[in-house]
């Protein structure tokens, strides 16, 4: 297989040594400019992901925290419904208790939603901190190689100016090696950019697909449970409970009337005793 060194060597004899050296240096200079553009592109891409993925991570984490707080408030609501139901008439008591049972069951699914969002959405976004760090390390390595090539190119130019007679040696040796190093660096940078973009798009698709799936599962189950809870409330027989309340009220009134009658009888007895005692004293 033909290598970069072979192709470069095949091209150089077509020119005089001085022209070959100058042409090669010009190519190297243009290669450095191209790598500068690629490096800036990679830096911009990494910085953009670092900024927006960081924002997404914070917002999704806040979303999960608020969902967890909503679950906590719902638990308090369930406890209060249980406490209130215990004080009510039979039908209302059963209806409220069944409603609270369903609503409590929903909070179990909400907890599962919180756990899944944390694992499938927030954590993958957090991991991009490490990915960005690794890509910055790649960029630093690329910049180091680019700086080394630029320094080498500068040294070759100085050599050309000092020793014009050695141009053919420079063209055949040092410049070819510099060209190969530059080609390797360019290819590595292109692969790095390409892999980073592929991974970013794939991860975005996965993260948002997981988010949508988790939310759909929860809300689907929530619709089922809310339907059952609604039916429990609608099944409360208010007429029967109203009749029970009326019977209790009538019973209380009857008991109160009996108490009043007992009080009147006691008052009559007390009055009779007082009259009898006064009569005895008079005699």
Of 123-137, 211-225, 256-270, the least confident = 256-270
- Evaluate whether 178 touches 153 at the Cβ level (below 8 Å): yes
Q: Residues 30-51: what's their mean pLDDT?
A: 74
Tokens of 225: 């449970």
DSSP, collapsed to helix, strand or coil, labels residue 89 as coil
Calculated CA dihedral for residues 124, 130, 133, 134, nearest 10 degrees:
-100
d(CA 276, CA 273): 5
Cα separation, 212 vs 225, whole angstroms: 20
Of 46, 216, 208, 193, the closest CA to residue 125 belongs to 208
DSSP letter string over 145-190? HHHHHHHHHHHHHHHHHH-GGGHHHHHHTHHHHHHHHHHHHHHHHH
Residue 175 confidence (pLDDT): 59
Residue 116 CB partners (closer than 8 Å, separation 6+)? 210, 214
* pLDDT the model gives residue 280: 64
Query: Which has more pLDDT, 35 or 62?
Result: 62
Cβ burial, residue 1 (10 Å; 0-12/13-18/19+): exposed
Residue 136's pLDDT is what? 81
Least confidently predicted of 23-27, 52-56, 149-153, 234-238: 23-27
**Among residues of the chain, what percentage have pLDDT more than 70?**
64
83-114 pLDDT tens trace: 999 999 899 999 999 999 999 999 999 999 99
Please say if the pLDDT value at position 72 is more than 80. yes
Beta carbons within 8 Å of 102's beta carbon, 6+ residues apart: 225, 226, 228, 229, 232
Query: Is the entire prediction scored with pTM above 0.75?
Result: no
**Region 186-205: what's the mean pLDDT?**
86
């Amino acid at each position: 297989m033909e290598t970069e060194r072979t192709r470069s060597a095949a091209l150089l004899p077509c020119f005089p040594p001085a022209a070959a050296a100058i042409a090669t240096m010009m190519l190297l200079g243009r290669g450095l400019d191209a790598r500068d553009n690629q490096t800036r592109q990679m830096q911009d891409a990494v910085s953009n992901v670092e900024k927006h993925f960081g924002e997404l991570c914070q917002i999704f984490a806040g979303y999960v925290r608020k969902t967890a707080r909503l679950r906590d408030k719902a638990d308090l609501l369930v406890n209060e419904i249980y406490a209130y139901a215990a004080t009510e008439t039979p039908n209302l008591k059963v209806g409220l208790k069944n409603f609270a049972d369903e609503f409590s069951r929903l909070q179990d699914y909400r907890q599962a939603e919180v756990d899944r969002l944390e694992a499938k959405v927030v954590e993958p976004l957090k991991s991009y901190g490490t990915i960005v760090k690794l890509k910055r390390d790649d960029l630093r390595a690329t910049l180091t190689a680019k700086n080394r090539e630029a320094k080498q190119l500068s040294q070759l130019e100085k050599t050309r100016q000092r020793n014009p007679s050695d141009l053919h040696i420079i063209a055949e040796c040092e410049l070819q090696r510099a060209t190969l190093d530059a080609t390797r660096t360019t290819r590595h940078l292109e692969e790095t950019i390409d892999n980073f973009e592929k991974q970013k798009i794939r991860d975005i698709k996965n993260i948002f697909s997981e988010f949508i799936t988790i939310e759909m599962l929860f809300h689907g189950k929530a619709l089922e449970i809310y339907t059952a809870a609604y039916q429990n409330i609608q099944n409360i027989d208010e007429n029967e409970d109203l009749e029970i309340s009326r019977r209790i009220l009538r019973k209380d009134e009857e008991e109160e009337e009996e108490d009043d009658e007992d009080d009147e009888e006691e008052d009559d007895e007390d009055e009779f005793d007082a009259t009898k005692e006064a009569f005895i004293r008079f005699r």
